[in-house]
């Protein structure tokens, strides 16, 4: 172990064709050309690409790679890859190992089976992938992985990376306009940075295999809360059990080799629930790294006899899993634009960025809500455990006090009781204290970043980051338009900040987001409360969103509509699979098991009666079992019939699944779970919650 720790710096990124390796293995000219292409997007000459490809191939083969793949992020939450070997026959039954610059830069996977939301007509089914030189290639499973974007031949983005890169560019551009107004002439690039905390469950593989619901849908469709849940509050940050610790160690090693800076690991609130957090990086790399982390979690779990569940709600009645997207803006000169500074001018700049964020989140609540809406996440948001479905911003006491004093023009209530003059006074210090963090807030300021806490554990972090970047770009752009014209900058700046906080004060909420009274209060404030995906999704490509994304060059209207359609179709597909799995389990597993038990119970009852014994238990249980089975059967029939009537249009279907099918499923589950509580456990056809959750 000690030896491993000493070698960690060498291990880290050892399977990544990173900057250091490129410097080592490329000619100075090619290295420079690559570097330039990452900073200003200059396309590489074919000769340079050829040289890079050569070097990459050589390096990858030394790492055992026989294949290469363009690795991309279609409009699903998972990544796609298609592997080609380096072999190229040279006659005489011999081969060479080849990999050209062209193959590095561009690939043409048969793209017709990826969701396109109608973007790609079938006659031009082929899309192409193109190397993203800002994200490093790496070796995994004997293949060289090349991170790429995925486009249609007409140039429409068919993936999650392209719009993310576009949004990063636009937020950089608008941030720089603001920085110039504050006299910053040095910053050339502003980077959206993010650190996603990833939650997950582990379950024993042998038990998992007996649960058709887990296997087919990622969550349990049946099951009573175990007698012991999270009430002892002993799991969160609790001691990690040896088998889990071994998994985590293995995971860390795999991630480190791939250059994913896994930093923190701990037990989460629910039994069998854990978290991994990396060190933050630019949003593009963070997004790639999170996809890799999710893949790796599943793979490494398998080696340890576990299955890693990334579903947002594997178990009813037990905390679900989310992802906290920590987000900030950093300059290429090393400054964090969401960090309060030490001088009056830095603080004025900070307050302007803060004002832009507050305004943006208020104006585009629905858009942000849509980026975290999914069938899985519906079990968390608005269900009294994760942040509510209502978007609001938590600023913390100190910053809230400052904002309030700006709005009211009253003295800031710190020791000095001074009135804060923007651009003249230094802000009172704002601590990064972890203790007063409001865990119920969907969007919390945590000292030098915002933490967007509504993300589902299985989703790509790309969508939420695209939205945050674009919204911020929009607001900063509006501010820049106004301030660039100003003849009295300090005064106009102060007025603008004050006006913005005043107009968007309603989005700031520091109280308990789980409290019922917040729903009423939010309603009074006119905040959106889009409880489910079916409620939220119609806003995905509404007029406001179209304007936002098209004007900032992030999505075209067609691209946005395509994504909205895919979300609707994915929601429908998920609920449909769940409903059909439920029918299957109810009909082929639960009801037959219950019937067998009832039959045996009847025989036992008759025997006992014949022997002149009391049969209260047998009689009462039989009756209860019979009533519940009867109800369950009727509910199962109803679900079966309702499933025959699902509308064809995906948007109508979404409403139908939400309004009709989900309640049907709820009814079946109710009887089944009651039966689970009555039936002799020898008869129950699959492992129950107490086994699944305490199996580690
Ligand atoms: P928590 O108490 O919520 O675990 P941490 O401070 O440990 O918070 O950070 C959680 C995540 O936020 C980590 O991934 C960390 O790297 C990331 N993070 C820290 N600073 C920033 C920043 N300026 N921008 C984006 N992410 C950040
Ligand atoms: Mg957090």
pLDDT > 90? residue 179: yes
Which residue of 279, 280, 448 sits with most ligand 1 atoms within 8 Å of its CB, as the best mutation to test the pocket?
280
Distance between CA atoms of residues 118 and 168, nearest Å: 26
Is pLDDT above 90 for 529? yes
510 CA to middle of ligand 1, Å?
20
Q: Say which ligand is closest to the CA of 266.
A: 1
Q: Which pLDDT belongs to residue 413?
A: 65
CA of 307 to the centre of ligand 2 (A): 24
The whole-number pLDDT of residue 337 equals: 97
**Which pLDDT value is given to residue 417?**
54
Q: Ligand 2 centroid to 355 CA: how many Å?
A: 22
Atom of ligand 1 nearest to the CA of 339: 23
CA distance 562 to 342: 46
Closest residue (by CA) to atom 2 of ligand 1?
Answer: 434
Residue whose CA is closest, atom 11 of ligand 1?
195
Q: State the closest ligand 1 atom to the C-alpha of 195, by its place in the atom list counted from 1.
A: 14
Give residue for tokens 């993310």: 164
Nearest to 13 by CA among 234, 357, 230, 261: 261
First-to-final CA distance of the chain: 23
Q: Which ligand is nearest to the CA of 441?
A: 2
d(CA 626, CA 141): 54
Pairing of strands 262-267, 281-282: unpaired
Query: What are 149's two structure tokens?
Result: 């974007």
For position 414, what pLDDT does the model report?
Answer: 60
User: Looking at per-residue confidence, does 419 or 352 come out higher?
Assistant: 352
Beta partners for residue 138, in sequence order? 16, 145
Structure tokens of 298?
A: 């599943």
The number of angstroms, rounded, from the C-alpha of 385 to the middle of its chain's C-alpha atoms is 17
Residue 511 CA to ligand 1 center (angstroms) comes to 22
Rounded Cα gap, residues 73 and 75, in angstroms: 7
- Regarding predicted confidence, which is higher, 415 or 142? 142
Answer yes or no: is pLDDT of 696 > 80.
no
Q: Which atom of ligand 1 is nearest the CA belonging to 330? A: 23
Poorest-pLDDT segment among 37-41, 606-610, 636-640: 37-41
Give the atom of ligand 1 at the shortest distance from the alpha carbon of 336.
23
3-state secondary structure of 646: coil
pLDDT classification of 1: cutoffs 50, 70, 90: very low
Q: Which atom of ligand 1 is nearest to the CA of 448?
A: 23
CA-closest residue to ligand 1 atom 14: 195
pLDDT given for residue 467 in this prediction:
98
Three-class DSSP category at 40: helix
Q: Which of 195, 336, 444 has most ligand 1 atoms within 8 Å of CB, for mutation?
A: 195
Q: What is the DSSP letter of 275?
A: E
| Nearest ligand atom owner, CA of 195 | 1
Compute the distance from residue 279 Cα to the ligand 1 centre, in Å.
Answer: 7
Task: Give 99 Cα–ligand 2 centroid separation in angstroms.
Answer: 42
User: CA 363 → CA 395, 463, 479, 526, 545, distances in Å?
Assistant: 17, 17, 14, 11, 10
pLDDT reported for residue 579: 98
Per-residue model confidence (pLDDT) at position 665: 98
What is the CB < 6 Å shell around ligand 1?
A: 193-195, 197, 277-280, 326-328, 336, 434, 448-449
Q: pLDDT band at 2, cuts 50/70/90? A: very low
Strands 306-309 and 190-204: antiparallel
Q: Is the pLDDT of residue 299 over 80?
A: yes
Contact 336/352 with Cβ under 8 angstroms? Answer: no
The rounded Å distance from CA 326 to ligand 1 centre is 6
The reported pLDDT for the residue numbered 435 is 44
The helix or strand, by DSSP H or E, that contains position 52, with its residue range, turns out to be helix 46-62
Whether 99 shows a pLDDT value over 80: the answer reads yes
Q: Is 488 exposed, middle or buried (0-12, 13-18, 19+ CB in 10 A)?
A: exposed
Cα–Cα distance, 192 to 461 (Å, whole number): 13
Choice from 168, 171, 194, 197 to test ligand 1 binding pocket (greatest atom count within 8 A of CB): 197
Which ligand does the CA of 194 lie closest to?
Answer: 1
Q: Which ligand is nearest to the CA of 263?
A: 1
**Which has the minimum average pLDDT: 212-221, 333-342, 473-482, 527-536?**
333-342
Residue labelled with tokens 């210090």: 429
What number does the ligand 1 atom closest to the CA of 194 have?
25
Question: For residue 325, how far is its CA from the centre of ligand 2 (angstroms)?
Answer: 8
Q: Distance (Å, rounded) from C-alpha 12 to C-alpha 135? A: 16
Over range 527-535, report the average pLDDT.
95
- From the CA of 264, which ligand is nearest? 1
Q: Give the residue-averaged pLDDT of 166-181.
A: 98
At residue 683, φ and ψ (nearest 5 deg) are -90, -20
Least confidently predicted of 88-102, 311-325, 431-445, 529-543: 431-445
DSSP 351-401: HHHHHHHHHHHHHTHHHHHHTT--TTGGGTTTTTSS--SB--EE--HHHHH
Average pLDDT over residues 63-82: 93
Query: How far, in Å, is the centroid of ligand 2 from the Cα of 14?
Result: 29
CA of 327 to the centre of ligand 1 (A): 8
- Does pLDDT of 624 surpass 50? yes
Centroid of ligand 2 to alpha carbon of 232 (angstroms): 22
Q: Supply the pTM of this predicted model.
A: 0.95
222-239 average pLDDT score: 79
Domains identified in the chain and CATH numbers = 11-159 (3.10.20.70), 167-555 (3.30.590.10), 570-693 (1.20.120.1560)
Nearest ligand 1 atom to the CA of 277 is 14
Q: What is the distance of C-alpha 131 from the center of its chain? A: 24
């Amino acid at each position: 172990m000690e030896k491993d720790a000493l070698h960690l710096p060498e291990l880290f990124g050892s399977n990544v064709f990173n900057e250091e390796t490129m410097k080592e293995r490329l000619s100075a000219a090619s290295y420079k050309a690559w570097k330039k292409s990452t900073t200003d997007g200059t396309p590489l000459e074919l000769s340079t690409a050829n040289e890079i490809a050569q070097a990459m191939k050589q390096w990858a083969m030394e790492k055992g790679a026989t294949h290469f793949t363009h690795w991309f992020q279609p409009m699903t939450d998972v990544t796609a890859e298609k592997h080609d070997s380096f072999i190229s026959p040279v006659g005489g039954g011999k081969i060479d190992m080849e990999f050209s610059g062209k193959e590095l830069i561009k690939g043409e996977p048969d793209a017709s089976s990826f969701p396109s939301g109608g973007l790609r007509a079938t006659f031009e089914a082929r899309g192409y992938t193109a190397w993203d030189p800002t994200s490093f290639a790496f070796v995994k499973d004997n293949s060289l992985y090349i991170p790429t974007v995925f486009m249609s031949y007409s140039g429409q983005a068919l993936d999650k990376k392209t719009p993310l890169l576009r949004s990063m560019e636009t937020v950089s551009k608008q941030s720089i306009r603001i920085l110039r107004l504050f006299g910053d002439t040095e910053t050339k690039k502003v980077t959206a940075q993010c650190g996603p905390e990833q939650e997950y469950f582990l379950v024993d593989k042998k038990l998992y295999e007996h649960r058709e619901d887990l296997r087919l849908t990622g969550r349990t469709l049946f099951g009573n809360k175990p007698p012991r849940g999270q009430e002892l509050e002993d799991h969160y940050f609790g001691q990690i059990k040896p088998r889990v610790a071994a998994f985590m160690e293995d995971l860390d090693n795999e991630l480190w080799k791939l250059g994913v800076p896994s930093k923190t690991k701990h037990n989460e609130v629910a039994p069998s629930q854990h978290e991994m957090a990396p060190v933050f990086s630019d949003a593009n790399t963070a997004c790639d790294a999170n996809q890799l982390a999710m893949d790796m979690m599943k793979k490494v779990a398998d080696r340890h006899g576990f299955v890693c569940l990334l579903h947002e709600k594997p178990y009813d009645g037990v905390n679900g899993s989310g992802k906290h997207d920590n987000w900030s803006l950093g300059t290429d000169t090393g400054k964090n634009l969401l960090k309060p500074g030490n001088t009056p001018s830095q603080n004025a700049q900070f307050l302007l960025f803060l004002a832009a964020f507050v305004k943006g989140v208020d104006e585009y609540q629905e858009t942000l809500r849509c980026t975290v809406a999914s069938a899985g996440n519906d079990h968390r948001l608005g269900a009294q455990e994760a942040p509510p479905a209502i978007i609001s911003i938590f600023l913390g006491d100190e910053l809230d006090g400052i904002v309030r004093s700006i709005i009211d023009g009253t003295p800031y209530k710190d020791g000095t009781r001074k009135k804060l003059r923007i651009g003249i006074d230094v802000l009172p210090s704002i601590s990064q204290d972890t203790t007063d963090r409001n865990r119920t807030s969907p969007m919390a300021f945590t000292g030098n970043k915002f933490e967007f806490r509504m993300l589902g554990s299985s989703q790509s972090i790309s969508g939420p980051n695209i939205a945050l970047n674009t919204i911020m770009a929009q607001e900063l752009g509006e501010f820049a338009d106004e301030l660039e014209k100003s003849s009295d900058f300090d005064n106009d700046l102060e007025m603008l900040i004050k006006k913005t906080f005043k107009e968007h004060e309603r989005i700031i909420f520091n109280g308990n987001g789980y409290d019922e009274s917040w729903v009423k209060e939010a309603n009074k404030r006119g905040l959106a409360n889009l409880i489910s995906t079916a409620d939220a999704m119609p806003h995905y490509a509404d007029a406001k969103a179209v304007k936002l994304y098209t004007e900032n060059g992030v999505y075209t209207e067609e691209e946005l509509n395509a994504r909205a359609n895919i979300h609707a179709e994915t929601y429908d597909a998920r609920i449909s699979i769940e409903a059909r799995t439920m029918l299957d389990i109810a009909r082929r597993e639960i009801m037959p098991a219950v019937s067998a038990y009832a039959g045996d119970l009847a025989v036992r009852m008759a025997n006992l009666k014949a022997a002149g014994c009391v049969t209260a238990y047998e009689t009462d249980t039989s009756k209860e079992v019979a009533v519940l089975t009867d109800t369950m059967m009727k509910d199962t029939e109803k679900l079966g019939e309702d499933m025959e009537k699902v509308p064809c249009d995906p948007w109508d279907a979404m409403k139908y699944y939400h309004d009709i099918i989900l309640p049907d499923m709820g009814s079946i589950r109710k009887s089944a779970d009651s039966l689970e509580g009555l039936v002799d456990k020898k008869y129950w056809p699959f492992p129950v919650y107490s086994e699944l959750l305490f199996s580690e």
